[in-house]
């Protein structure tokens, strides 16, 4: 449950961020000074880059995938066992959309821009979503 930020040019650990996740982290995305994690602990955690604060999004199942929009204003995560994607405004913490279409465990979410998202699962399709 520890996020380690590494300066890859110098190959040195810059900082470790902890506190939000308490078990394995399956996925991580960094955008615009924010970090989102997806964890075995059924938590998607939105950390600030300095690690001084975080917001917790609870899932009802292991969270294998999470992502941030380029501005980090929207986060998406697979928070349940029904293979749905949940999208939240990271500033208001309000849910803005739920997307259903996958029939297997989600394993990747990618924001193309602030409104367009692609996702894939343990199946033979990639889905494209347009957020409201």
Single pTM value for the model: 0.92
User: What are the pLDDT digits (tens) for 36-67?
Assistant: 999 999 999 999 999 999 999 999 999 999 99
Q: In this predicted structure, what is the pLDDT of residue 91? A: 96
CB atoms within 10 A of CB 16: 11
Q: What is the mean pLDDT of residues 104-125?
A: 96
What was the pLDDT predicted at 99?
97
| pLDDT, mean over the chain | 96
Asked if 77 and 109 count as a contact pair (C-beta separation under 8 A), the reply is yes
Q: According to the model, what pLDDT value does residue 122 have?
A: 93
- Phi first, then psi: give them for residue 127, nearest 5 degrees: -110, 145
- 105, 88, 56, 99 alpha-carbon torsion, rounded to 10°: -20
pLDDT at 119: 98
pLDDT of residue 33: 94
Name, in order, each residue with C-beta under 8 angstroms of 106's C-beta and a sequence gap of 6 or more: 64, 65, 78, 83, 85, 119, 120, 121
To 10 degrees, the CA torsion angle through 122, 86, 117, 4? Answer: -80
User: 77-94, pLDDT tens digit by residue?
Assistant: 999 999 999 999 999 999
Query: What was the pLDDT predicted at 98?
Result: 97
CB 85 within 8 A of CB 76: yes
Could you give the CA distance from residue 84 to residue 110 in angstroms, rounded to a whole number?
15
The pLDDT of residue 94 is 97
Which of the four pLDDT bands, split at 50, 70 and 90, describes residue 10?
very high
Task: Report strand pairing: 34-39 vs 12-17.
Answer: unpaired
Sheet holding 34-39, edge to edge: 25-31, 34-39, 43-48, 54-58
């Amino acid at each position: 449950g520890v996020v380690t930020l590494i300066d890859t040019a110098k190959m040195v650990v810059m900082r470790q961020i902890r506190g939000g996740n308490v078990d394995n982290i399956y996925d991580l995305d960094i955008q615009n000074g924010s970090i989102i994690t997806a964890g075995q602990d059924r938590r998607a955690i939105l950390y600030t880059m300095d690690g001084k604060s975080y917001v917790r999004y609870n899932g009802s199942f292991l969270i294998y995938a999470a992502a941030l929009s380029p501005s980090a204003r929207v986060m998406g995560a697979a928070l349940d066992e029904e293979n749905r994607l949940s999208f939240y405004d990271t500033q208001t913490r309000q849910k803005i959309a739920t997307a259903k279409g996958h029939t297997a465990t989600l394993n990747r979410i990618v924001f193309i821009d602030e409104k367009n998202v692609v996702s894939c699962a343990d199946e033979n399709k990639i889905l494209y979503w347009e957020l409201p």
